């Protein structure tokens, strides 16, 4: 499996633990920046990861900003992306199980390193449940097809 990671200065503190967990799972990591704490614009990094997911260049993505909010809003503008902001193990599990989230978004100013690592592991370990959720996710795609050219 291949996973792209992108962050801004507000999320970069979580990047080492995210990479550690991915490496422990033998996942190939594509680091799309940023690479230091200099102030940058989160939509630039959201776009890199979201496009890689949308084009199928990677299987999933992980994005990090201060809150996880801005970078997920930007990522969700890209067709085929279902980016979920999560802040605990339950949301990390449910975004995979019910929403088939293909990008996990975490706030570096919201959760601890330890929790972020556990959230990544939970998201990786949780399969999409399918069933009634398949039709709901398909309805998300229908909305996307209606409004995104």
Q: Where does this chain bind ligand RB5 (CB under 6 A)? A: 8, 10, 42, 65-67, 69-70
Taking the least distance from each CB to ligand RB5, the nearer of 41 and 59 is: 41
**CB neighbour list of residue 109: distance below 8 Å, 6 or more residues apart:** 10, 66, 67
DSSP code for 127: P
Least gap, CB of 65 to ligand RB5 (angstroms): 3
Taking the least distance from each CB to ligand RB5, the nearer of 67 and 76 is: 67
For 116, half-sphere exposure in the C-beta direction (CA atoms, 13 angstrom radius) is 29
- Per DSSP, the three-state class of 15 is helix
Q: In this structure, how many other beta carbons lie within 10 angstroms of the beta carbon of residue 63?
A: 31
Catalytic residue IDs: 65, 98
Least gap, CB of 69 to ligand RB5 (angstroms): 4
Least gap, CB of 8 to ligand RB5 (angstroms): 5
Q: At what angle do helices 113-125 and 89-97 cross, to 10 degrees?
A: 20
Taking the least distance from each CB to ligand RB5, the nearer of 42 and 123 is: 42
């Amino acid at each position: 499996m291949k996973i792209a990671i992108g962050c801004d200065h507000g999320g970069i503190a979580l990047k080492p633990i995210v990479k550690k967990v991915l490496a422990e799972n033998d996942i190939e990591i594509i680091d799309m920046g940023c690479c230091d704490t200099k102030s940058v614009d989160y939509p630039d990094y959201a776009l890199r990861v979201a496009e890689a997911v949308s084009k199928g260049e990677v299987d999933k993505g992980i994005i990090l900003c201060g809150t996880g909010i801005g970078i997920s809003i930007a990522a969700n503008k890209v067709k085929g992306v279902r980016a979920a902001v999560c802040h605990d193990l339950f949301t990390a599990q449910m975004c995979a199980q019910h929403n088939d989230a293909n990008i996990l978004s975490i706030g570096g100013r919201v959760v601890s390193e330890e929790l972020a690592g556990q959230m990544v592991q939970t998201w990786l370990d949780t399969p999409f449940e399918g069933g009634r959720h398949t039709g709901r996710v398909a309805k998300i795609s229908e909305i996307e097809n209606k409004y995104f050219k």
